Amino acid sequence: MSALPKAAVVTGAGTGIGKAVTLALLQEGYRVALAGRRRQPLEEVVAEAGAAASRALVVPTDVSDPASVRHLFARVREVFGRLDLLFNNAGVFVPGASLEDIPFEHWKASVDVNLTGAFLCTQEAFNLMKNQTPRGGRIINNGSISAHAPRPHSAAYTATKHAITGLTKSTSLDGRKYDIACGQIDIGNAATDMAAKFAQGALQADGSVKPEPLLDLAHVANAVLYMASLPLSANVQFMTLMATKMPFIGRG
């Protein structure tokens, strides 16, 4: 068995949850391929990693583009020689609108990145994991509270996150024969740039606007590290991690 550190791919690694998880994995000793549309934020994350930066690989990637995804995993195979962990994290949240007012382009962007991107990366991860020695690996999908309950004016995002749950289940089932484990972390109100506005006020189901609490990103990173730390004989199938007082239980 290779003595090399475990190898991971994190999509959407340049900001928010992806950045926090990438830095945590690097500090834990992983080799990490950072994937994201823009090179500069990825390189800034690597610079922030300090001494652990030597185990980082920056691969600008558009997860909605099959050729770009194939290039990402080819680089991982070339540089790392194997893949132990994929964190499917890349996602977009298009401007809020009532369902009948959502432009087709916004719907398509959500599906292309949030769902098709996760599928393409999972497919390439399967091809690596099932043929490597030792065989297998782990895939963790970033779901959302929206995989359970929608916010108003979020049909595109919510539909893709519900679909991620189906992808997680199918990945778990089809991955069994290859020793590939798959789980999903559903995160509520992590303190990212995207969610910062919730602290000022978020539209509620009754039409009111109320501030919502946020969750420190460190807790998200620690949760993903825990899921990743398990042997392949054990799996966190679904984990919900949220700010304790966010309106989820009883939402609507």
Mean pLDDT value across residues 157-173: 97
Identify the CATH assignment for 7-242 out of 3.40.50.300, 3.40.50.720, 1.10.3720.10, 1.10.10.60. Answer: 3.40.50.720
CA distances from 209 to 8, 98, 189, 191 (A): 39, 16, 15, 19
**Domain chopping of the chain, boundaries:** 7-242
- The DSSP bridge pattern shows strands 209-210 and 202-203 to be antiparallel
Place of tokens 């599906």: 111
196-232 per-position pLDDT tens digit: 888 889 888 888 999 888 899 999 999 999 999 999 9
∠ Cα 29 194 219 (to 5°): 40
Does the pLDDT at position 114 exceed 90? yes
Strand-pairing partners, residue 242, are: 188
**How much is the pLDDT for 2?**
47
**How much is the pLDDT for 190?**
86
Mean pLDDT value across residues 59-87: 98
Give the contacts of 149 (CB within 8 A, at least 6 positions apart): 248, 251, 252
d(CA 112, CA 116): 5
**How much is the pLDDT for 36?**
98
**How much is the pLDDT for 222?**
98
Residue type, 2: S
Output 96 or 231, whichever has higher pLDDT: 231
Mean pLDDT value across residues 159-183: 98
**How much is the pLDDT for 197?**
86
Give the contacts of 25 (CB within 8 A, at least 6 positions apart): 8, 10, 32, 85, 225, 228
Residue 92 contacts residue 109 (beta carbons within 8 Å): yes
d(CA 41, CA 13): 8
Q: How confident is the model at residue 1 (pLDDT cuts 50, 70, 90)?
A: very low
Does the pLDDT at position 184 exceed 50? yes
d(CA 248, CA 157): 16
Among all residues, which ones are annotated catalytic?
157
Q: How confident is the model at residue 251 (pLDDT cuts 50, 70, 90)?
A: low
User: Percent of the chain scored above 90 by pLDDT?
Assistant: 82
Taking the model in full, what pTM does it have?
0.94
Does the pLDDT at position 130 exceed 80? yes
Does the pLDDT at position 47 exceed 70? yes
